[in-house]
Structure 1
């Protein structure tokens, strides 16, 4: 399911959107009334359960490794079907016992295969009794014994304790083999991807698709053991059955005549075509599996030539297959690529959807609440599912089936069925400082009621712009009164708005420009006023295009701050909602909502001026030929509370930040002009998969060093160069923590209290310094921790406690929330900056990432980064020093 962040089955939501005094947690087995009151001015040692299981005995067999060569088949499941047919039908005498295939290019066998041509042979595989080379659906597969040594998984126990050995191919290959062993049985029985399988048990139906729950399984090598990590997860699949029924269900049509599209074009045609593209079907005429490449109108009336005669699809099916097409005027599917010499067109009613196909597109926004409800499991439900408790809403856990797995038993591997318990720390709580008082958060939460912000900005030069036509005047008054009341209570110096303007979403820029003209009547120096003018913009409930135009105008054209408010939220608004708005406004107006005081922050300050940086790369969805977006944010004050940002585009799927040297150069230069020469840089990097750690980090650490060298040389700086600590922060892992009922770590609802950090023992990677930090309280579901890997450290001497305390402190400075968040604020800010990439393109441009036109620019054409960069606009200079990305 593309575009939906956090594919784990239980969503531990944090407070990115801001909450005031709300209750965290969402589980059900903790003590009533919450955790006991304990002193958190120092760290407290605790124990918790995890969702990891010890491999008590590694496989005792040796394995031979083969490379598998074949024509490129993009579909993961299809590749496995081809290899299964090779073992079951083409050469079963060779593959006894059966070999294991990783779904890519490697085959593992517990015996040396007696291949016809020695250690390398080719096989012709097809879906007919006598496959013919070159025919559709026929593949030539070649197996070749690799030149490497025999794989001995039982040696992993020794290798795991040798740091230098962990990154070698022998270890990687052996761990890959263990993953195949534990997934083999469940994958043969269920739809699956590379790391998880899914079951229809407890599925939920949505238009055209179904939500299924399942289990993630992976082997993790640690300093002491090999572990199996099992977690609940979910996915989306196309509904199987008649293709016509699927189309009706997805489009929510009741009458089949609604599928009569007279010609290509129109929103319904393109919506359905995007939904069906790359979907695999079987056809009643041949039963062969085919792929949908597009749609055509009135498929039954489509005319083609056969043996010199013109025929319609309707006539052809009736004459050759005795199939009477009941709906010849409905849209049909094209089963050949664009430009093919002979197009294959079929009506919907003769096609069936192949079961078990994953839906990989971005889900419509209005379905998000349904998906979150389905995905959310409280800690009791989640741990029960993982450990094999009975459930009507999810399949049996794989932990119950390992002992019955033939491949696991034959390998000699033994797995403990009880989850491991680890030690950790409840970190000392930082103080959150306001103008007149300090407070200690309660389970990661605090309240701003009756408090004055640390540094409240003046709210003088502002206006309200309303795009809601019905009832908009009343909504505008609500916005004015609510904003002024809560801003004053929080310490703003507030004046009334310069003007309140209303208009249509058909003329967005004209209304915004007219508002600025009105504001100039009160502020003739509007172009140079600091902080920048602010517009509160009221939008209809579904107005993504209007918001796109507002943000592009404000951030890139006019250099004016904009705060958008949806109609539905405003109708239900209370003081809590307007307090949230006030926090965003203050941060954008260069104020400080609150700052954090902790020993970690003090120690860092005592060592000299420091910058906190956060960086992220966001990639386009599957199948989209669009650029990736890279963002860098950096602190600009001694409290690491105020940040600036830079955003660039780069080649799709490129993990390394391509322009990092120039971005760091600009960041440190800007910081130095305001604060003096930095002595320390703490760099938090988001979005790097574990397999990419070394390659990405080494390149980016080098780029940061080059940027500093260039800046020091160009500016002739005599001060020492800053020391660097580089930390990768992972969010999309599957490690979860479950405190026991009477543990000090229990928040009363089954989650760990905010501030739990794992010790370096069972879960630590053999070759790196890493830890897990659960810094927030879940609002619902099971809390998700951040995974921190310290790649390079010149500041803390790899003292994990100091790094944990700093990271925990930075989780409390997220400007628009009165709760600690799940990862440090600069990492979130980099993610927010990436998410705004569509605003950098003109709304009417074909390069606008939010538009349908962007797809047509990319489809069938070579990717040209220069074109995208030429149309990617930098933030207006007047906006660059504000936290516009909130």
Structure 2
């Protein structure tokens, strides 16, 4: 009897950041506006390989010189023509290349040099004489704009991806490889057909008792009220955008909230960014805004208007300052066109962050969820996110969500903690302090018990994202 074994192979087209062959003086000139960007240039270029235009040699960058080519000096030995001992002369990089290589440095004379030598024996090469070696995998953290561009270019619909992968299989022609034929291995050129089914979109219940049906994968709340609206009070607006009328935006938000049954008090204050701060670093702009914000009473909610919708450097520092340092609920937005649909989506986020409930599943309201509605059950979801490639010094962030108010499953709490870099196991789920556990799982169980009228969970459903 002949046994046939089938092996399924996952084919994909991974996207990575790689370097292109470009002149380094053009790249580095963009970094030298101030000392902060000079530091970023050193980090970005370290360990990349370059090729020199005057010798064709390849080197690995270990850093940048402390001074510019015009001022940076190094020692060179000169032979004594009278047969005496060699003399040591100190010359600048600029003079060395002009005398020894007949090269007049122009574009990079006032920029630092690349150091391609050793820590104790540096070798300096001017930027304009170097090109990056192409197709090097870039493992360090990408900027906001670079990440956005990479995501945009790697996004493919299923038909496009299937066409690309089919071309790879066809061009590779694995079945003509002698070793595979000798081993009796053949590789099919067609994709494997897998039986599947499309689940119907769940029906939702709004606060006015109406059913909300999905259309093209979306639910429209524009004409519906919320299940449990949470009053927005003691709130302020901070405006980083010179193009947005923050006062008008706040009035529109209040009006839209009243239509949804979400009471929004008048804003306490609108803080405008100082005009001279627009060209400063993102962290500096955020710190300056918080000095204004904390000059009065601490608000319970902050609406933040960003200067641009995509690739905004303020977003990360602002979120860290609000959520991590001061514990203030915040919602960021960068409106290019304000309408009721846009403001409704913003209010849904705000209500959820303040502890409200936007909608319920229809079967959840009818207490008809199999295995869950009849038996007290807690649902847990977990995930761990890591720093960007090359940032091994950045802590990993673990997040756990747990359901509340059984028999509901749409109400939940979130817990976030940091842990050692690249650690996949969440080490804060259980941790004994004396004879008691005082970390995430215990807190989730106690919150479930207190919010579910004294019911203890008899079952636990656990979902963890992987990959």
Instruction: Compute the TM-score of the two structures, normalised by the length of structure 2.
Output: 0.79
Question: 2:128 corresponds to which residue?
Answer: 349
- What's the CA shift for 1:292? 0.9
Q: Distance in 1 between matches of 2:390 and 2:113?
A: 23
Q: 1:643 aligns with which of 412, 424, 427?
A: 412
Mapped contact 1:239–1:246 kept (Cα < 8 A): no
Cα distance change on mapping 1:553 and 1:287 into 2, 3 Å? closer
- Secondary structure (helix, strand or coil) at the match of 2:371 reads helix
- What's the CA shift for 1:302? 2.5
- What's the CA shift for 1:379? 3.1
Q: Does 1 or 2 have the higher relative contact order (CA < 8 Å, sep 6+)?
A: 1
Q: Distance in 2 between matches of 1:552 and 1:626?
A: 14
Question: 1:622 corresponds to which residue?
Answer: 389
Q: Distance in 1 between matches of 2:155 and 2:200?
A: 29
Question: 1:538 corresponds to which residue?
Answer: 305
Cα distance change on mapping 1:412 and 1:240 into 2, 3 Å? farther
- What's the CA shift for 1:226? 0.3
Q: Distance in 1 between matches of 2:461 and 2:41?
A: 47
Question: 1:446 corresponds to which residue?
Answer: 219
Cα distance change on mapping 1:601 and 1:314 into 2, 3 Å? farther
Mapped contact 1:499–1:515 kept (Cα < 8 A): no
- What's the CA shift for 1:583? 0.1
Matched, 1:595 2:335: no
- Secondary structure (helix, strand or coil) at the match of 2:218 reads coil
1:456-605 → structure 2 map (5 Å cutoff): 456-459=229-232, 461-468=233-240, 470=242, 475-502=245-272, 504=274, 505=285, 507-516=288-297, 533-541=300-308, 550-552=318-320, 554-556=322-324, 558-566=326-334, 569=335, 571-598=336-363, 602-605=369-372
Q: Distance in 2 between matches of 1:463 and 1:330?
A: 48
Q: Distance in 2 between matches of 1:441 and 1:613?
A: 26
Question: 1:609 corresponds to which residue?
Answer: 376
- What's the CA shift for 1:604? 2.9
- What's the CA shift for 1:309? 2.7
- What's the CA shift for 1:442? 3.3
- What's the CA shift for 1:280? 0.8
Question: 2:89 corresponds to which residue?
Answer: 309
Q: 1:293 aligns with which of 34, 44, 62?
A: 62
Cα distance change on mapping 1:281 and 1:420 into 2, 3 Å? same
- What's the CA shift for 1:372? 4.1
Cα distance change on mapping 1:241 and 1:403 into 2, 3 Å? farther
Provide the aligned C-alpha RMSD in A.
3.3
Cα distance change on mapping 1:609 and 1:425 into 2, 3 Å? same
Q: Deviations over 1:755-801 (max 9, x none)?
A: xxxxxxxxxxxxxxxxxxxxxxxxxxxxxxxxxxxxxxxxxxxxxxx
Question: 2:444 corresponds to which residue?
Answer: 667
- What's the CA shift for 1:371? 3.7
- What's the CA shift for 1:580? 0.9
- What's the CA shift for 1:655? 1.6
- What's the CA shift for 1:557? 5.3
- What's the CA shift for 1:598? 4.1
Cα distance change on mapping 1:406 and 1:362 into 2, 3 Å? farther
- Secondary structure (helix, strand or coil) at the match of 1:238 reads coil
Cα distance change on mapping 1:323 and 1:292 into 2, 3 Å? farther
Question: 2:400 corresponds to which residue?
Answer: 632
Q: 1:334 aligns with which of 96, 115, 129?
A: 115
Q: Distance in 1 between matches of 2:72 and 2:3?
A: 64
Q: Deviations over 1:618-638 (max 9, x none)?
A: 222233222222222212233
Question: 1:361 corresponds to which residue?
Answer: 140
Q: Distance in 1 between matches of 2:379 and 2:166?
A: 40
- What's the CA shift for 1:316? 4.4
536-545 or 618-627, which deviates more: 536-545
Aligned residues: 426
Q: 2:205 aligns with which of 427, 430, 433?
A: 433
- Secondary structure (helix, strand or coil) at the match of 2:194 reads strand
Q: Deviations over 1:434-476 (max 9, x none)?
A: 12122342343221122111222233x243323347465xx22
Cα distance change on mapping 1:471 and 1:443 into 2, 3 Å? closer
Mapped contact 1:508–1:546 kept (Cα < 8 A): no
Cα distance change on mapping 1:591 and 1:268 into 2, 3 Å? closer
Matched, 1:680 2:459: yes
- What's the CA shift for 1:489? 2.0
- What's the CA shift for 1:664? 1.5
Cα distance change on mapping 1:434 and 1:652 into 2, 3 Å? same
- What's the CA shift for 1:546? 5.6
- What's the CA shift for 1:602? 1.4
Mapped contact 1:300–1:325 kept (Cα < 8 A): no
- What's the CA shift for 1:353? 2.2
Q: Deviations over 1:648-677 (max 9, x none)?
A: 222221221122213222222232232231
Mapped contact 2:222–2:340 kept (Cα < 8 A): no
Cα distance change on mapping 1:540 and 1:351 into 2, 3 Å? closer
Q: Distance in 2 between matches of 1:401 and 1:412?
A: 15
- Secondary structure (helix, strand or coil) at the match of 1:427 reads coil
- Secondary structure (helix, strand or coil) at the match of 1:496 reads coil
Q: 1:274 aligns with which of 29, 32, 43?
A: 43
Cα distance change on mapping 1:405 and 1:267 into 2, 3 Å? farther
Mapped contact 1:294–1:334 kept (Cα < 8 A): yes
- What's the CA shift for 1:577? 1.1
Cα distance change on mapping 1:619 and 1:466 into 2, 3 Å? closer
- What's the CA shift for 1:610? 1.6
Cα distance change on mapping 1:555 and 1:240 into 2, 3 Å? closer
Q: Distance in 1 between matches of 2:317 and 2:51?
A: 44
Q: Distance in 1 between matches of 2:26 and 2:319?
A: 40
- Secondary structure (helix, strand or coil) at the match of 2:50 reads strand
Instruction: Compute the TM-score of the two structures, normalised by the length of structure 1.
Output: 0.44
- Secondary structure (helix, strand or coil) at the match of 2:370 reads helix
